[in-house]
């Protein structure tokens, strides 16, 4: 593998071209390359580079074991045993969820890790290179042409030259750039949900005590929720996901607006008040979107390139890497010319991605509601329903029917709880629909 800052000459003809060298693109490139195929992994930036989305899920870990990266992950990550949720009431109330309390837990999935994405993404990118992929940074794909019956032609450009690469198959792992979705006009903004975000990195922010030191902490406030994610070397990622119309009030003083936002939850502010900001505060329209199609002849999308949802439950990297594993099965079958296996792999790819996203999206859309707050803060449970919700938050979203029927029961409990304070429930729903409408109408 070349040094991270090296840029080897581009291969002119490959079996697979992957657009985007984040976790999903690197995972898929590694899985296909290790089977002996010629794989080109194209990254527009240079690793290491800043990225948000630093919290993983327990069900990420089996994927890392299959990739042979579990020890490398442990060396750069902060162990994450669970999540704690804190109210914005004057009297602090915090409730902790431990992944070890999941229903019917999968072995080795009782914890996760928090990672500095610059280190993590570089680790994944370098692993793809060691697996046999040709990895190139600082290289942009300008266009893709599917007119040829056999080859897909990619116009690429870096500081050395512009040239054309021919590939038998193309995977879009470009994240929120959504290269192919935009090229095919497939992307739609989510009319049911939309949020915006502010975030930065801090030092000297206290961690939870004892075994909970690696928890991700979630604080509700009147305009959304705040995260605190412990990272290596004493760094704390702090961000606020909020209503888009609220974020537009920030003006030019973004740092001051961020501070005022965290103060809307007094317990979050008490924890952050002595913190030292070590990065810029970034504001972004963190809206949700999806692609009407995730695959087609000689192409598919993985990770955020196809679907992006609110990050409250830290699902982004897991969904990206899981979709990459599923996508690799499609690519390998297509490159082998096995149409029957490819058709089955595509069907599984579509079904599992939609199922996992839809299952978690139902919880995400309702997370700000008063009823959901009460349920997450409650220690009461029947029929192991709460344990099943913990399983879902850990990433157990696909094959465990005993978890899935309990999640359906949880939905019923939620609807009943919503009736207890119907006016507040309706206000929350109106706000959610307003957020999505504002984002859609303004094109943010």
| Residue pLDDT tens, the chain, 444 long | 444 444 566 768 999 999 999 999 999 999 999 999 999 999 999 999 988 899 999 999 999 999 999 999 999 999 999 999 999 988 888 999 999 999 988 889 999 999 999 999 999 999 999 999 999 999 999 999 999 989 999 999 988 889 999 999 999 999 999 999 999 999 987 777 778 889 999 999 999 999 999 999 999 999 999 999 999 999 999 999 988 888 888 888 999 999 999 999 999 999 999 999 999 999 887 567 889 999 999 999 999 999 988 888 899 999 999 999 999 999 999 999 999 999 999 999 999 999 999 999 999 888 888 898 889 888 777 778 999 999 999 999 998 899 999 999 999 999 998 998 888 777 777 776 666 555 444 444
Strand partners, 228: 217, 238
CA distance 255 to 198: 9
Q: Counting Cβ atoms within 10 Å, is residue 135 exposed (0-12), middle (13-18) or buried (19+)?
A: buried
Which domains does the chain show, CATH number per domain? 13-54+116-189+291-356 (3.50.50.60), 79-115+195-286+368-444 (3.30.9.100)
Distances (CA, A) of 349 to 98, 195, 288, 331: 30, 27, 21, 11
Radius of gyration for the alpha carbons in the chain, expressed in angstroms and rounded: 22
Give dist(CA 163, CA 177) in Å, integer: 21
Sort strands 216-221 and 162-172 into parallel, antiparallel or unpaired. unpaired
User: In whole angstroms, how far apart are CA 89 and each of 80, 219, 240, 265, 367?
Assistant: 26, 10, 17, 8, 17
Give the whole-angstrom CA distance, residue 425 versus residue 423. Answer: 5
Q: pTM to 2 decimals? A: 0.92
């Amino acid at each position: 593998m070349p040094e991270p800052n090296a840029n080897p000459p581009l291969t002119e003809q490959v079996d697979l071209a992957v657009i985007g060298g984040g976790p999903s693109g690197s995972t898929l490139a590694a899985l296909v390359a290790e089977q002996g195929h010629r794989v080109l992994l194209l990254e527009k930036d240079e690793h290491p580079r800043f990225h948000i989305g630093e919290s993983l899920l327990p069900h990420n870990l089996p994927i890392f074991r299959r990739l042979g990266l579990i020890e490398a992950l442990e060396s750069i990550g902060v162990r994450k045993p669970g999540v704690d949720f804190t109210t914005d009431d004057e009297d602090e109330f915090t409730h902790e969820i431990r992944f070890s309390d999941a229903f019917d837990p999968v072995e080795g999935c009782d914890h996760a890790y928090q990672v500095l994405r610059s280190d993590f993404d570089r680790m994944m990118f370098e692993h793809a290179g060691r697996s046999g992929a040709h990895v190139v940074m600082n290289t942009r794909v300008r266009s893709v042409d599917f007119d040829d019956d056999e080859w897909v032609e990619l116009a690429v450009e870096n500081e050395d030259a512009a040239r054309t690469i021919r590939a038998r198959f193309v995977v879009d792992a470009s994240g929120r750039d959504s290269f192919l979705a935009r090229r095919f006009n497939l992307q739609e903004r989510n009319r049911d949900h939309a949020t915006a975000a502010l975030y930065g990195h801090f030092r000297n922010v206290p961690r939870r005590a004892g075994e909970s030191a690696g928890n991700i902490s979630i604080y509700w406030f009147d305009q959304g929720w705040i995260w605190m994610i412990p990272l290596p070397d004493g760094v704390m990622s702090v961000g606020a996901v909020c209503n888009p119309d609220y974020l537009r009030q920030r003006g030019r003083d973004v740092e001051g607006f961020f501070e005022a936002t965290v103060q809307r939850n007094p317990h979050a502010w008490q924890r952050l008040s002595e913190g030292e900001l070590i990065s810029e505060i970034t504001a972004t329209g963190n809206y949700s979107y999806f692609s009407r199609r995730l695959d087609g002849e000689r192409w598919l999308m993985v990770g955020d390139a196809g679907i992006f949802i609110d990050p409250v439950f830290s699902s982004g990297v897991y969904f990206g890497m899981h979709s990459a594993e599923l996508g690799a099965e499609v690519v390998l079958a297509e490159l082998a010319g096995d149409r029957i296996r490819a058709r089955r792999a595509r069907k599984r790819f579509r079904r599992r991605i939609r199922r996992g996203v839809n299952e978690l999206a139902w919880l995400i859309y309702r997370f700000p509601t008063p009823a959901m707050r009460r349920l997450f803060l409650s220690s009461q449970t029947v029929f192991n329903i709460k344990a099943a919700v913990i399983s879902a938050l850990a990433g157990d979203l696909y094959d465990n029917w005993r978890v899935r029927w309990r999640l359906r029961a949880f939905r019923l409990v939620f609807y009943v709880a919503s009736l207890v304070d119907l006016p507040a429930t309706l206000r929350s729903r109106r706000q959610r629909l307003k957020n999505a409408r504002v984002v859609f109408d303004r094109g943010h």
